């Protein structure tokens, strides 16, 4: 490592601490979103919706994100992040449905059934 890359300052340390705090909040928010995704998946199953992917809803989310972005994050970068979040949400919903199906298959039949 070069001497330049090890230089620091109180301001640099403070800024990095703020970033670390934001990262913790972002992780918390991503996990809160994932919990809501699970609830949406349960509700879809309860009302008989078989499809996990809802392209119209995904477009809505991406449009809202685009409108909300005032920068400095480039639109393309933000949309890439959200596309990944949406893909992760679909995968989570699929795993949750598979788990629920397996739980139902593992339930013993009631006596006399």
Q: What is the pLDDT of residues 40-76, one digit of tens each?
A: 999 998 999 999 999 999 999 999 999 999 999 999 9
Going by C-alpha positions, the residue among 56, 102, 46 that lies closest to residue 38 is: 46
Please give the residue that has the higher pLDDT: either 107 or 84. 84
C-alpha angle 24/28/31, rounded to 5°? 140
Main-chain dihedrals φ then ψ at residue 69, nearest 5 degrees: -75, 110
Taking residues 18-36, what's their average pLDDT? 98
pTM of the model: 0.81
The percentage of the chain sitting over the pLDDT mark of 90, rounded to a whole number, equals: 77
Contact by Cβ (8 Å): 103, 61: no
Given this model, what pLDDT does residue 109 score?
Answer: 72
Whether 106 has a pLDDT exceeding 80, the answer reads: yes
Neighbours of 53 (CB within 10 A): 13
Alpha-carbon distance of 58 to 87, in angstroms, equals 10
* Domain residue extents for the chain: 10-102
Residue with token string 């393309």: 76
CATH class of 10-102: mainly alpha
Confidence at 13, pLDDT banded by 50, 70, 90: very high
Given this model, what pLDDT does residue 5 score?
Answer: 72
Neighbours of 83 (CB within 10 A): 14
Please give the residue that has the higher pLDDT: either 15 or 96. 15
Token readout for 105 is 């298959």
């Amino acid at each position: 490592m070069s001497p330049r890359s090890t230089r620091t300052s109180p301001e640099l340390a403070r800024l990095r601490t703020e970033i670390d705090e934001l990262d913790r909040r972002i992780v918390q928010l991503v996990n809160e979103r994932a919990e809501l995704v699970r609830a949406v998946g349960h509700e879809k199953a309860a009302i008989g919706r078989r499809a996990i992917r809802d392209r119209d809803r995904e477009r809505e989310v991406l449009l809202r994100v685009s409108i909300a972005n005032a920068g400095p994050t480039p639109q393309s970068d933000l949309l890439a992040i959200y596309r990944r979040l949406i893909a992760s949400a679909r995968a989570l919903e699929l795993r949750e449905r598979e788990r629920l199906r397996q739980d139902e298959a593992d339930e013993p039949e009631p006596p006399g059934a």
